Amino acid sequence: MEKSNDSSEYGFILVGFSDRPKLEMVLFIVNFTLYSVAVLGNSAIILVCILDSRLHTPMYFFLANLSFLDLCFSTSCIPQMLVNLWGPDKTISYAGCVVQLFSFLSVGGVECILLAVMAYDRYAAVCKPLHYTVIMHPQLCLRLVAVAWGSGLINAIVMSPLTMTLSRCGQRRVNHFLCEMPALIKMACVDARAVEMLAFTFAILIVLLPLTLILVSYGYIAAAVLRIKSAAGRRKAFNTCSSHLTVVSLFYGSIIYMYMQPGNSSSQDQGKFLTLFYNLVTPMLNPLIYTLRNKEVKGALRKVLGRQQ
């Protein structure tokens, strides 16, 4: 019992990429750059959505929430990873590991559901344009965001304690660059199949169910777009759908590969790079794909920066 408590007394060692010292410095430079871009881009989106009254619509309300989630998602682990990449110290305290795991599970779950909410918003805008303001009224938008946050928090509240209390028989080395659930479960020296099955069940509810709703929403959108007679109108609608679906594919694809398969079926290196992808690359791309290509947001940015009245 004493050994199993070593991690709570001394914390964990995040192995990360320490077996490749040359790669660590390259990753530090690349990740620091991507993280800086992600922070600046998502902060800019939140700022303009708050300051510009023209962006006080359901679509931009959800986009501002997505940008906030992306900031939380990346900040939950990238700063710690940068510290570990920069120097020889690879440790993280037990409390820090708990906070990182809880943040990762909650924010990741919220983002999965929020992407489905955004798809529903686009469905209402394209398929029910005359009733859009009635359907997407402010109270419904707040409720949908509250459901997303509630679901993510429930996922974290259930899975974080179960994962952290697994006996590890003194094992402190986490073969990852963050305290991620699959890596922590693999360290267990007891039968963790019940925890893995519960994680799989939550993954179905938080990952696959929202993804199904997204695909159904865009199926209806595609059918509606095909009925538009104007070629320019069809092109504009399809461009909007393709941008959203690209980000959904990038985010959900890596999440599904990580969480919707047996615990030992993917290599550790694959898991590390996939986690980096959906934890850093996707949040960095989201402002560009969702909003910075949008004329309304560009105009709002110029207005905030004082380039126009």
Q: What is the DSSP string of 70-123?
A: HHHHHHTTHHHHHHHHHSS--EE-HHHHHHHHHHHHHHHHHHHHHHHHHHHHHH
Secondary structure (DSSP) of the chain: -TGGGHHHHH-EEE-TTTT-HHHHHHHHHHHHHHHHHHHHHHHHHHHHHHH-GGG-SHHHHHHHHHHHHHHHHHHTTHHHHHHHHHSS--EE-HHHHHHHHHHHHHHHHHHHHHHHHHHHHHHHHHH-GGGHHHHT-HHHHHHHHHHHHHHHHHHHHHHHHHHHTS--TT--EESSSS--HHHHHHT-SS--HHHHHHHHHHHIIIIIHHHHHHHHHHHHHHHHHHT---HHHHHHHHHHHHHHHHHHHHHHHHHHHHHSS-TTSS-HHHHHHHHHIIIIIHHHHHIIIIIIT-HHHHHHHHHHTTS--
Alpha-carbon torsion angle 166, 172, 175, 177, nearest 10: 100
Residue 114 lies in a domain: yes
* Low-confidence winner among 4-18, 166-180, 188-202 (lowest mean pLDDT): 4-18
* CATH value at residue 236: 1.20.1070.10
User: Residue 102 burial by CB count (10 A; 0-12/13-18/19+): exposed, middle or buried?
Assistant: buried
**Is the CB of residue 12 less than 8 Å from the CB of residue 91?**
yes
Q: Is residue 238 part of a domain?
A: yes
Share of the chain above pLDDT 70, in %: 87
Q: Let me know if residue 1 belongs to a domain.
A: no
Q: Does 6 fall in a domain?
A: no
Q: Look at residue 57 and tell me if it is in a domain.
A: yes
pLDDT of residue 258: 65
Q: How many domains does the chain have?
A: 1
- Given a cut of 50, whether residue 73 has pLDDT beyond it is yes
pLDDT tens-place string over residues 239-251: 666 767 777 887 8
Question: Domain range for residue 221?
Answer: 12-305
Overall size of the chain counted in residues: 309
Please state the rounded mean pLDDT for residues 279-306.
75
**Domain for residue 29, yes or no?**
yes
Query: Is pLDDT at 4 greater than 50 in this prediction?
Result: no
* pLDDT at residue 225, rounded to an integer: 83
What is the pLDDT at residue 2?
41
Query: HSE (CB half, 13 Å, CA atoms) of 52?
Result: 25
| Of the candidate ranges 43-52, 119-128, 201-210, 285-294, the one whose mean pLDDT is the lowest | 285-294
Condensed to tens digits (0 to 9), the pLDDT of residues 14-35 reads: 887 777 778 888 889 999 999 9
| Among 67, 77, 65, CA closest to 103 | 77
In 3D space, the residue among 267, 257, 108 whose CA is nearest the CA of residue 183 turns out to be 267
* Mean local confidence (pLDDT), 240-268: 67
Instruction: Flag whether pLDDT at 178 surpasses 60.
Output: yes
How far is the C-alpha of 63 from the C-alpha of 53, rounded, in Å?
Answer: 15
- Asked whether 48 and 287 are in contact (CB, 8 A), the reply is no
Confidence tier at 143 by pLDDT (50, 70, 90):
very high
CB of 84 within 8 A of CB of 11? no
In a domain? residue 4: no
Other beta carbons within 10 Å of 260: 14
Instruction: Tell me if 3 is assigned to some domain.
Output: no
Round the average pLDDT of the chain to a whole number and report it. 83
Q: Are strands 91-92 and 173-174 parallel, antiparallel or unpaired?
A: unpaired
Residue 210 scores a pLDDT above 60:
yes
Q: What pLDDT is recorded for position 3?
A: 42
Q: For residues 205 and 255, what is the distance between their CA atoms, to the nearest angstrom?
A: 13
